[in-house]
Amino acid sequence: MPVLETQQLTPRIASEVARRRTFAIISHPDAGKTTLTEKLLLYAGAIELAGAVRRKSQQRHARSDWMAMEQARGISVTSTVLQFDVGEACFNLLDTPGHQDFSEDTYRVLTAVDSAVMVLDAAKGIEPQTRKLFEVCRQRQLPVVTFVNKLDQPGREPLELLDEIEKVLGMDAVPQNWPIGGGIDFLGVYDFLRSKVLRFERGARGERAASVPTTGVDDPVLAALLGAHRYETFRDESELLAAAGHRYDPDRFLAGRQTPVFFGSALNNFGVEAFLEGLETLAPPPSSRRSNLGVIEPADDRFAGFVFKVQANMDPNHRDSMAFVRVVSGRFEKGMAVEHARLQRQIRLPRAHRIFAQERETAEEAFAGDVIGLVNPGIFTIGDTISEIAGLELEPLPSFPPEFFARLWPEKVDRHKAFQKGLLQLEHEGAIQVLFEPMRREPILAAVGELQFDLVRSRLEAEYGVTTRLERLGYRSALWVSGTPAEVDGAVWPSSALRAADRRGRAVALFDAPWSEQFMAEKNPGLELSRTH
Ligand code: G4P
Q: Is 121 left (phi over 0), alpha (psi -120 to 50) or beta?
A: beta
Question: What separation in Å is there between the alpha carbon of 32 and the centre of ligand 1?
Answer: 5
Question: What separation in Å is there between the alpha carbon of 70 and the centre of ligand 1?
Answer: 27
- Residue in 150, 435, 116 with CA at minimum distance from that of residue 264: 150
Which of 34, 35, 53, 101 should be mutated for ligand 1, with most atoms under 8 A from CB? 35
Kindly state if the Cβ of 30 falls inside 6 Å of ligand 1. Answer: yes
Is the predicted pLDDT of residue 3 greater than 60, yes or no?
A: yes
Mean pLDDT of 285-310: 95
CA-nearest residue, atom 4 of ligand 1: 30
Higher pLDDT, 210 or 170: 170
Higher pLDDT, 69 or 477: 477
Kindly state if the Cβ of 100 falls inside 6 Å of ligand 1. Answer: no
Is the predicted pLDDT of residue 342 greater than 70, yes or no?
A: yes
One-letter amino acid for residue 451 of the chain: L
Confidence of residue 65 (pLDDT cuts 50, 70, 90): very low
Find the range with the poorest average confidence among 33-42, 60-69, 274-283, 505-514: 60-69
Kindly state if the Cβ of 80 falls inside 6 Å of ligand 1. Answer: no
Is the predicted pLDDT of residue 320 greater than 50, yes or no?
A: yes
d(CA 163, CA 126): 11
Kindly state if the Cβ of 56 falls inside 6 Å of ligand 1. Answer: no
Provide the pLDDT for residue 307: 95
Mean pLDDT of 9-29: 93
Is the predicted pLDDT of residue 72 greater than 60, yes or no?
A: no
Kindly state if the Cβ of 35 falls inside 6 Å of ligand 1. Answer: yes
Is the predicted pLDDT of residue 60 greater than 90, yes or no?
A: no
Mean pLDDT of 324-350: 93
Provide the pLDDT for residue 55: 67
- Complete DSSP assignment for 216-235: STT-HHHHHHH-HHHHHHHH
Q: List the beta strands (DSSP E) in 364-467.
A: 365-367, 371-376, 385-387, 404-410, 433-436, 444-447
Confidence of residue 429 (pLDDT cuts 50, 70, 90): confident
Q: Can you name the residues that pair with 206 across neighbouring β-strands? A: none
Higher pLDDT, 306 or 74: 306
Provide the pLDDT for residue 61: 43
Kindly state if the Cβ of 93 falls inside 6 Å of ligand 1. Answer: no
Mean pLDDT of 255-270: 96
pLDDT, tens digit, for every residue of 149-169?
999 999 999 999 999 999 999
Q: What is the mean pLDDT of the chain?
A: 87
CA-nearest residue, atom 28 of ligand 1: 267
Provide the pLDDT for residue 232: 92
Provide the pLDDT for residue 465: 93
- Residue in 420, 412, 449, 425 with CA at minimum distance from that of residue 436: 420
pLDDT, tens digit, for every residue of 344-382?
999 998 767 665 444 445 667 899 999 988 888 888 989
Confidence of residue 206 (pLDDT cuts 50, 70, 90): low
CA-nearest residue, atom 15 of ligand 1: 32
Provide the pLDDT for residue 79: 47
